A and B are shown apart, each in its own frame.
Chain A
């Protein structure tokens, strides 16, 4: 046999060696990472519902999960969580699209002020069109709404300028836009709050070049204000709740995830200190035989999240000494036993705040 590029290549390049023969929990698609994360590094997260799992596990594993917009200290933690404090680094809710992230950054720095300012319901409660489910019951009035929004945007600026690592989970390509100024909503108006106006609320399914451009612009925007920040991009493995395209949701889901995955590849290639982390592959790869999805075939089970985070910790937790170091995952065999037990016992999953679910709440 003559020399060729595959001969003597490492095992991880071969499906036969690195996927097929391995127990589920030993499949580790991360080969190398360019940087590690110290426990003192401020790690901020944003993105779709799956980003909340990342946030939760970062805290559990001893990382410094960076929250710039916590609840007032008089509010007990459980109640604060009900009102979405501490669930996101700043209280922006789910950011499903790259365009939404870019828009948030521009709003935070006063570069964009959407025409759609505030949704007021019949009782007078006010809702933020760009985080409609962030405040259970809405804001009491415009004054309260305005104060909270200003504070929120300030906390976004603080996050941008002070974070050391930004983990962003891309979730969707489908979005609804205000035709007047291009403002993008996290969720279709009229579902969780607001009123749908077919005259100005237009559907947009972003193409791959849109996502690449939006994501690149967003990362550059952040790095211009925080040159040392490192980026980790992931794609949410959680399938679409519904599609606005007139086609089967499975087809739309494949388009959406493929597009986001390609966009990540392009952005990572163009940005130094920007890596792709394969959450999507770990959860949806055929080696899992669907075991990481709950009975709704959409929610990711806790063992699935743990598999993702074990790999994340294995590769990104810097080898620090002492109690201050992030906790490394247990040895593979122990992990496997623990996770196998969880698999057998249940298909349990930890619920996340998922605005998108309002699309199917009819």
Chain B
């Protein structure tokens, strides 16, 4: 049996891994090949269109993905699909500042008099926003019965958004929002990440998808992304983070291989 190939499919959070793979040969560095399908502008557009009131998957992507994931050398697929949702929500503050309590964190985000939104409502909100990405999983699942692992995106860097938020382009209108309302305080950004990470894990469980949390050696003792891992845009991680994730995925692949050969 040849060397394992890991197929990665997803959004911009995969760039940290891909950049690392451009720096080193993944086969020699990690003992596995890596193939990336980035659902991004310039790579693939949204991989579906609507025809006669039904979704039709993009033919080119379907063809390429199908060819890439067929064969015994691909033990599983790694996706990165849900990751941006928390960040979009938690980048700039709201006209009516809000906060929420997590099961394990009741600390206020800052000294502002923030409206407390009940956690069960925040959970439902997160699920509503995450649900919009279900289609992407259905697409991957339509191609293969192999295991799928969803990479949970990196947590925020403490103060990262506050440092980079005002200079980063967040899309139409967002810069104005940042100017008006400011960036969410770091603790509140982290709470959003934790909330979305937990809801993503539940949702993936329902879809038969396993989740891979960021490797422990990428975070500080408070659960923030290490400064050495940030990419400089408040949202994504850098190739060093990519290296740690590639290592962790490779370990899973080796375990797969051992179990097969054993």
* Interface pair B120/A140, CB less than 8 Å apart: yes
Given contacts A75-B125, A79-B124, contact A144 B98 (CB under 8 A): no
B138 in the interface, Cβ–Cβ < 8 Å? no
Residues in B neighbouring A72, C-beta threshold 8 A? 94, 96, 98, 115, 117
* A-contacting residues, B115-165, CB 8 Å: 115-121, 123-125, 128
* Interface pair A136/B125, CB less than 8 Å apart: no
* Interface pair B128/A144, CB less than 8 Å apart: no
Residues in B neighbouring A79, C-beta threshold 8 A? 121, 124-125, 128
Given contacts A75-B125, A79-B125, A141-B101, contact A135 B94 (CB under 8 A): no
Residues in A neighbouring B123, C-beta threshold 8 A? 137
Partner of B101, one of A82, A138, A144: A144
B23 in the interface, Cβ–Cβ < 8 Å? no
* Interface pair B120/A139, CB less than 8 Å apart: yes
A74 in the interface, Cβ–Cβ < 8 Å? yes
Q: Taking the nearest CB of chain A, how far is it from the CB of B173, in angstroms?
A: 15
* Interface pair B124/A83, CB less than 8 Å apart: yes
* A-contacting residues, B47-102, CB 8 Å: 89, 94-96, 98, 101-102
Expressed in whole angstroms, the Cα–Cα distance for A140 and B106 within the complex equals 10
* Interface pair B118/A139, CB less than 8 Å apart: yes
Given contacts A75-B125, A140-B103, contact A135 B120 (CB under 8 A): yes
Partner of B118, one of A76, A82, A148: A148
Contact with B along A117-161 (1 / 0, CB 8 A): 000000001000000000111111101100110010000000000
Residues in B neighbouring A83, C-beta threshold 8 A? 118, 120-121, 124
Partner of A144, one of B118, B124, B125: B118
Q: Which residue of A lies closest to B124 (CB)?
A: A79
Partner of B120, one of A71, A76, A138: A138
Given contacts A76-B128, A79-B128, contact A140 B101 (CB under 8 A): yes
Expressed in whole angstroms, the Cα–Cα distance for A52 and B106 within the complex equals 34
Expressed in whole angstroms, the Cα–Cα distance for A147 and B99 within the complex equals 12
Residues in A neighbouring B128, C-beta threshold 8 A? 76, 79
* Interface pair B94/A140, CB less than 8 Å apart: no
A272 in the interface, Cβ–Cβ < 8 Å? no
Residues in B neighbouring A139, C-beta threshold 8 A? 118-120
Given contacts A72-B115, A72-B117, A75-B117, contact A143 B124 (CB under 8 A): no
Q: Taking the nearest CB of chain A, how far is it from the CB of B192, in angstroms?
A: 11
A73 in the interface, Cβ–Cβ < 8 Å? yes
Q: Taking the nearest CB of chain B, how far is it from the CB of A154, in angstroms?
A: 12
* Interface pair B95/A73, CB less than 8 Å apart: yes
Q: Taking the nearest CB of chain B, how far is it from the CB of A51, in angstroms?
A: 23
Residues in B neighbouring A71, C-beta threshold 8 A? 121
Residues in B neighbouring A135, C-beta threshold 8 A? 118, 120-121
Q: Taking the nearest CB of chain A, how far is it from the CB of B53, in angstroms?
A: 22
Partner of A82, one of B94, B96, B124: B124
Q: Which residue of A lies closest to B119 (CB)?
A: A140
Contact with B along A63-87 (1 / 0, CB 8 A): 0000000011111100100110000
Q: Taking the nearest CB of chain A, how far is it from the CB of B71, in angstroms?
A: 44
Q: Taking the nearest CB of chain B, how far is it from the CB of A82, in angstroms?
A: 7
Residues in B neighbouring A74, C-beta threshold 8 A? 89, 94, 96, 98, 117, 125
Given contacts A138-B120, A139-B120, A140-B103, contact A73 B96 (CB under 8 A): yes
Expressed in whole angstroms, the Cα–Cα distance for A138 and B119 within the complex equals 9
Partner of A143, one of B94, B96, B106: B106
Expressed in whole angstroms, the Cα–Cα distance for A125 and B123 within the complex equals 14
Expressed in whole angstroms, the Cα–Cα distance for A147 and B108 within the complex equals 13
Given contacts A79-B124, A136-B124, contact A143 B101 (CB under 8 A): yes
Residues in A neighbouring B95, C-beta threshold 8 A? 73
* Interface pair B125/A148, CB less than 8 Å apart: no
Q: Taking the nearest CB of chain B, how far is it from the CB of A15, in angstroms?
A: 51
* Interface pair B118/A140, CB less than 8 Å apart: yes
Q: Taking the nearest CB of chain B, how far is it from the CB of A80, in angstroms?
A: 8
Residues in B neighbouring A143, C-beta threshold 8 A? 101, 106
Residues in A neighbouring B106, C-beta threshold 8 A? 141, 143-144
Q: Which residue of A lies closest to B106 (CB)?
A: A143
Q: Which residue of B lies closest to A80 (CB)?
A: B121
* Interface pair A73/B121, CB less than 8 Å apart: no
Q: Taking the nearest CB of chain A, how far is it from the CB of B187, in angstroms?
A: 16
Q: Taking the nearest CB of chain B, how far is it from the CB of A158, in angstroms?
A: 15
Q: Taking the nearest CB of chain B, how far is it from the CB of A78, in angstroms?
A: 9
* Interface pair B94/A148, CB less than 8 Å apart: no
Q: Taking the nearest CB of chain B, how far is it from the CB of A10, in angstroms?
A: 53
Contact with A along B188-213 (1 / 0, CB 8 A): 00000000000000000000000000
Expressed in whole angstroms, the Cα–Cα distance for A141 and B106 within the complex equals 9
Besides A74-B96, A141-B103, 4 other CB < 8 A contacts?
A79-B124, A79-B125, A79-B128, A136-B120
13 contacts between A and B (CB under 8 A): A71-B121, A73-B96, A74-B94, A74-B98, A74-B117, A76-B125, A79-B121, A135-B121, A136-B124, A141-B103, A143-B101, A144-B106, A144-B119
A residues near B (Cβ < 8 Å) are 71-76, 79, 82-83, 125, 135-141, 143-144, 147-148, 151
B residues near A (Cβ < 8 Å) are 89, 94-96, 98, 101-103, 106, 115-121, 123-125, 128
Closest 4 CB pairs of A and B: A137-B120, A140-B119, A147-B116, A144-B101
